[in-house]
Copies of this chain bind each other. A is one copy, B any other.
Amino acid sequence: MAKRRTHDPVPWLDESQLDAWKSLMGMLTMLPAALDAQLKRDAGLNTFEYHVLVQLAETPDRRLPMSALACAAQGSPSRLSHAVRRLENSGWVERVTSSEERHRVDARLTDLGWNKLVDTAPGHVREARRLVVDALSPDQLAALGDAARTVLAAIDPSTAPSARGETVDPS
């Protein structure tokens, strides 16, 4: 309200920009819904819960402190706490308090959770291929990834790969 200044120079989008913007908005609404639907239907998981399991599975001990997991899965501490409670009720994850640091809680992927992921991942990758990876030409996919990276950098400069000492997987 108070920001309303009629002389603000906010040039409108031209035709080609508007076209790209609308397509992007369309993808932003449809793609997450489609991926969510596949996971919900085939695995009874939502995208966030799936990502939580993936992050744990990609960790050496299959366990992570809640805060690190929240960061890795790109969710708030609260969101993670609720999600882990649901995953715990299903037996796929368990909370363990680190014996050394009693105020730190680790989420640990159970064997059941690992198997769940082994069952679930192929179907999800298949859907990812069907809707994106195989639907686009290699050049299109690379350009999409490039644009996405740039947008991410604009949203949060600290996420920019070039601007951080990203811990490189030492394999």
Chain A interface residues toward B at CB < 8 A: 1, 3-4, 8, 10-13, 16-17, 19-21, 23-24, 26-32, 34, 42, 74, 119, 122-123, 125-126, 128-133, 135-136, 140-156, 159
Chain A interface secondary structure, helix, strand, loop or mixed? Answer: helix
Contact status A154-B133, CB under 8 Å: no
Q: What is the bound-complex CA distance between A147 and B122, given in angstroms? A: 24
Supplied contacts A20-B144, A34-B155, 13 more A-B pairs, CB within 8 Å? A3-B123, A8-B126, A20-B145, A21-B128, A24-B132, A26-B148, A26-B159, A27-B151, A31-B155, A135-B154, A140-B146, A143-B147, A147-B147
| Identical subunits present | 2
Least CB distance, A136 to chain B, in whole angstroms? 6
Query: Is A30 a contact partner of B156 (Cβ separation < 8 A)?
Result: yes
Across the interface, which residues of B come within 8 angstroms of A147, CB to CB? 136, 140-141, 143-144, 147
